[in-house]
């Protein structure tokens, strides 16, 4: 690979890691960057999981060090996200992608609309403790979103952020912390499958991984410092960009 392409991938990784560490959505930057570099689609999906794993693990560690993770909640849902992502990755070659993309686009419109219509959603911390019901709901969230992350990916962080706020009454900051850990689990599960099926370019993956780790470190520190008031507008912005990209991709497939 020529130095110019390597530099562009590294810059894409830095930006993706920064955004992904707070609200997710880094894949919307790194995956097109890999495809633009001439990486075949299935290989790009697997290689992108190296970058996603690096970014989510770095961000989760920073949030843990800041004392924002609730161990009982985090570790009860983490293995569910791992296994669900493996199932999603196994399924990706057997289901029409257009159906999934269309459903995701509809759901994302609803999420953005709900957040815009509820100004206090995710701004105030309404968490009142963990219950058997809330833990079960989080496991179901990890199951559904983990499967989707292994299958397709774009929007995973947004779905986790919204779901954790809705279930637990978290602020966006607390939801971002737990969402990064669950996203780390789904990335690990999907990466394991893609690696076993020889769909990972480790050279490119390590280059992107190093860049996304750096971006994730800076982004998670910024998220911790500025909190929910900063994460909310970023959530809406990234979700809107993801929605446009999904719809454009769906248009291209239909054409």
Residue-range domain boundaries for the chain: 3-254
Provide the whole-model pTM.
Answer: 0.83
pLDDT at 228: 66
pLDDT at 103: 67
pLDDT at 230: 73
Q: What is the full DSSP assignment across the chain?
A: --HHHHHHHHHHHHHHHHHHHHH--THHHHHHHHHHTT--HHHHHHHHHHHHHHHHHHHHHHHHHTT---HHHHHHHHHHHHHHHHHHHHHTTTS-HHHHHHHHHHHHHHHHHHHHH-TTTTTS-------HHHHHHHHHHHHHHHHHHHHT-TTHHHHHHHHHHHHH---HHHHHHHHHHHHHHHHHHHHHHHHHTT---HHHHHHHHHHHHHHHHHHHHHHHHH-HHHHHHHHHHHHHHHHHHHHHHHHHHH-
- Which residues of the chain, if any, have pLDDT below 70? 93, 95-104, 119-123, 228, 246, 249-255
Burial zone of 192 (CB within 10 Å; 0-12 exposed, 13-18 middle, 19+ buried): middle
């Amino acid at each position: 690979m020529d130095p110019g392409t390597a530099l562009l991938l590294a810059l894409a990784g830095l930006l993706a890691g920064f955004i992904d560490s707070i609200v997710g959505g880094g894949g919307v930057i790194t995956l097109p960057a890999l495809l633009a570099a001439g990486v075949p689609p299935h290989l790009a999906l697997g290689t992108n999981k190296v970058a996603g794993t690096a970014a989510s693990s770095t961000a989760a560690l920073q949030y843990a060090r800041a004392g924002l993770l609730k161990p009982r909640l985090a570790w009860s849902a983490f293995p569910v996200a791992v296994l669900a992502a493996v199932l999603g990755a196994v399924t990706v070659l057997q289901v029409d992608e257009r159906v999934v993309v269309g459903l995701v686009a509809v759901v994302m419109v609803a999420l953005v609309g709900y957040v815009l219509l509820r100004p206090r959603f995710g701004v105030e911390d309404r968490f009142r403790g963990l219950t058997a019901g809330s833990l079960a709901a989080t496991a179901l969230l990890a199951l559904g979103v983990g499967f989707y992350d292994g299958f397709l990916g774009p929007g995973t962080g947004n779905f986790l952020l919204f779901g954790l706020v809705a279930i637990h009454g978290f602020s966006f900051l607390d939801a971002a912390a737990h969402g990064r850990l669950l996203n780390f689990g789904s990335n690990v599960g999907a990466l394991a499958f893609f690696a076993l099926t020889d769909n990972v370019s480790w050279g490119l993956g390590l280059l992107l991984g190093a860049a996304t780790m750096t971006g994730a470190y800076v982004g998670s520190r910024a998220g911790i410092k500025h909190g929910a008031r900063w994460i909310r507008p970023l959530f809406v912005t990234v979700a809107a960009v993801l929605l446009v990209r999904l719809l454009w991709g769906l248009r291209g497939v239909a054409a």
